[in-house]
Structure 1
């Protein structure tokens, strides 16, 4: 599979809201879970010549432990005690956090700004794709929890927004 084909598969997952996909060929098995991990298992094609004696037994590899169930992305939850009533906006994907659309552009939002539901708050870059993260509530940005250019994990809190 080429990187271009993999990129097309990942784009289709995001565009269609698919959370899991498994693709199996004679050469490999690919399982992709949104918010989870990507696992590629290669099955090499081996030709064994005829031997006079049977080959020595090789212990079979132990199968990997079953993956934990993938949770639905948590875009928002109630915030901790430091901002009562605030809503946490969480990272729906793993990637790099950017506050602005370009290095020389002003940030989408600053602390104290009023935002509307659906307004872009930031970008998370994942595999060279720029994913706009939108506000799920109207309110005031009380705190930005991540610095520009920092890597973020799935489910990591990004913003605290006080609904109005």
Structure 2
């Protein structure tokens, strides 16, 4: 996310919520100048923003406490093991390695990270379906940054 002294875009809000869920955070605070955002990932609506912003949520009710959700059961992220530039194709001009909705098997390469002229294949450790590719080709990524969301195939 690029720094700016302004509210986040809807896409950036969604990314923060997804990452909070994936890493099972209790809460987080983003502070930029006179603007801040507090997000609680516990039960109940505990989202607040300042500087005249409003964040409205729509959609189905959150699951009841103790009720399983996809994040609790089979959805997880594949993360970058090293920092570098992410490539989503095997070579320039080739099709994407994976796309949202695609079924993959363990060992499938989902991305390649280039660091100091060394290429590191990022492979899935399980069978499943790609839920979302979280990075764009050419993005600089940090070690531990989520690259792809995957829903594991049920055993």
TM-score (normalised: structure 1): 0.50
Matches within 5 A, 1:44-59: none
2:131 is the alignment partner of 1:142: yes
Q: Is the 8 A contact 1:89 1:161 kept in 2?
A: yes
2:116 is the alignment partner of 1:120: no
2:146 is the alignment partner of 1:157: yes
Cα distance in 2 for residues equivalent to 1:119 and 1:109: 9
Higher Cα Rg, which structure: 1
TM-score (normalised: structure 2): 0.53
Q: Is the 8 A contact 1:79 1:160 kept in 2?
A: no
Q: Match of 2:78?
A: 89
TM-aligned CA deviation for residue 79 of structure 1: 2.7
Deviation track 1:109-135 (CA, whole Å, cap 9, x = no partner) reads 001111101111110001011111100
Deviation track 1:91-115 (CA, whole Å, cap 9, x = no partner) reads 0000000100112000110011111
- Divergent runs of 4+, >3 A: 80-83
Segments of 5+ residues of structure 2 without an aligned counterpart are 1-20, 25-68
Q: How many residues align?
A: 87
1:79 to 18, 22, 39: 22
Cα distance in 1 for residues equivalent to 2:114 and 2:91: 12
Q: Is the 8 A contact 1:143 1:161 kept in 2?
A: yes
